[in-house]
Amino acid sequence: MAVQQSVGADPYFPDHGDSRYRVHRYELALDYRPGPNRLSGTARINAIAGRSPLAEFQLNLADFRIGRVRVDGRQPHYTHRGGRLRVKPAKAVRPGAAFTVEVHWSGNPKPVNSPWGGLGWEELEDGALVASQPVGAPSWYPCNDRPADKASYQISVTTPSAYSVVAGGRLLTRTTKASTTTWVYEQSAPTSSYLVGLSIGKYQTVLLGDPGPGGVPQHGHIPAHLLPQFSRDFARQPQMMELFQELFGPYPFEEYAVVVTEEELDVPVEAQGLSLFGANHVDGARGSERLVAHELAHQWFGNSVSIADWRHIWLNEGLAKYAEWLWSERSGGRTAQQLAAAAHRLIAAQPQVLKLADPGRKLMFDDRLYERGGLTVHALRCALGDDAFFRMLRGWAALHRGGAVSTATFAAHAARFASEPLDELFDAWVYRTPLPPLPSQVTALPVKPPYPPSAGASA
């Protein structure tokens, strides 16, 4: 249907999102029962119409039973098929006008199908978690599911009192009545729908380090029996936070939390102000420390500064990959140059078919995108020199905080910090498929001890 191909539709997921309006705020009230995996919810969505009268619009929502839909308090005409809730208000919304949508839904949440397996709400043996990238958010709530449409969130979750609820943002209240507890979280920073994280499980909460005056509160939520391993594996996260604030600028949110589930996850999952790890990422030997750095770096690159559409995913993953290398370099491991050389050898041995600027849906999570993305950032560092390079990164994070960007935006920004044009660099690394030569050596960041091998995580 032509209406779904409106200007601004994501070329990789044209059925997700609706560019004819934007959401300002979501208020979600959920009730979840882990045993029967039963979810019921109410969403109040405050939105603003675009430049044309809004005679109809779309929300993405999986196959739940719809109990009620209202637009500005009035009953609209709506249909709900194929993961799309199409709504036709009783009266068209004027261009630029604010409007409110209310949706009630219920059912048994499950992941939505994708080329990468199930995405979104995942029922665990004893609890649940949400891992939505890129299009799993409609598995549990109605949303305008496009990364550029960023909104604030308030999320209220009622569940049996034996369970903890962790969401990205600040915990406002926790209220127990009889056998259930209601947890209310506020995420005031603009957030993409796929980055709304949620975990429900039986966790012990610990404080990671001492944030001190003006510091960033960092908490871990983990099964109690994994606490000894977690205390070693995540011991250096406070130092990562310190380094990344030095290199990238202030942490963009109020708090940061990590969750470790009882079950294994293929890869950790970043959400806004929150990262989720599987039990397999906790081994007591810091075996997944590069992933701890990677997920933390996404808070700047990918979460605070988001992509306009999924063609630009290398901006998220390339910068987070390079943050891994910077952490290794600063903490006494292999230097960024050594890691870049290893990545270059890895890619050189594989077919040269990936274009960073537009990898296509099939290759958007290919390992080559991550490695070549990191190499591209390294090439920029070599071209600019450390002083200009890190000023460029800090400026990027500050200028676009809370916004959405593209590859062209990044190239134009980087060019302002260069003494010579960067067109050939971006053309070779980002817009063409052949692998350019390994960038020249750069001076490594000085190692900055002490980085404790096993700092404690305190309850």
Instruction: Give me the CATH number covering residue 45.
Output: 2.60.40.1730
Indicate the residue type of 200.
Answer: I
- Distance separating alpha carbons of residues 340 and 343, to the nearest angstrom: 5
Domain boundary among 180, 198, 216: 198
Domain boundary among 198, 216, 242: 198
192 and 70 in a single domain? The answer is yes
Low-confidence residues of the chain: pLDDT under 70:
1-8, 449-459
Q: Is residue 210 part of a domain?
A: no
Residues 122, 295, 324, 329: which is the catalytic one?
Answer: 295
- Distance separating alpha carbons of residues 250 and 248, to the nearest angstrom: 7
pLDDT of 449? 61
330 and 193 in a single domain? The answer is no
Judge whether 142 and 191 are in contact, CB under 8 Å.
Answer: no
Total number of domains in the chain: 2
Q: Is residue 4 part of a domain?
A: yes
Q: Is residue 89 part of a domain?
A: yes
- Residue numbers belonging to the annotated binding site for Zn(2+): 294, 298, 317
Q: Is residue 275 part of a domain?
A: no
Distant-in-sequence, close-in-space partners of 213: CB < 8 Å, separation ≥ 6 = none
- The three-state secondary structure class of 315 is helix
Q: Is residue 184 part of a domain?
A: yes
Q: Is residue 453 part of a domain?
A: no
**Around Cβ 440, how many Cβ atoms within 10 Å?**
10
Judge whether 405 and 306 are in contact, CB under 8 Å.
Answer: yes
Continuous segment of H or E residues that includes residue 394? helix 386-399
Residue 353's domain is classified under what CATH number?
1.10.390.10
Residue 295 annotated in active site: yes
Strand partners, 221: 205, 259
Domain boundary among 149, 183, 198: 198
194 and 318 in a single domain? The answer is no
Residues 141, 324, 370, 371: which is the catalytic one?
Answer: 370
pTM of the model: 0.94
Count, residues in the chain: 459
Residue 202 has φ and ψ, to the nearest 5°, of: -100, 100
Predicted confidence (pLDDT) per residue in 277-287, tens digit: 999 999 999 99
Angle at 118 between CA 109 and CA 102, to 5 degrees: 40
Q: Where are the beta strands (DSSP E) in 62-179?
A: 65-71, 77-81, 84-88, 98-107, 120-124, 127-131, 151-160, 164-167, 170-177
Q: Which domain holds residue 126?
A: 1-198
pLDDT of 451? 55
187 and 321 in a single domain? The answer is no
Q: Is residue 367 part of a domain?
A: yes
Nearest Cα residue to 379 out of 446, 427, 330, 448: 427
- Residue numbers belonging to the annotated binding site: 294, 298, 317
- The three-state secondary structure class of 309 is coil
191 and 316 in a single domain? The answer is no
Q: Is residue 291 part of a domain?
A: no
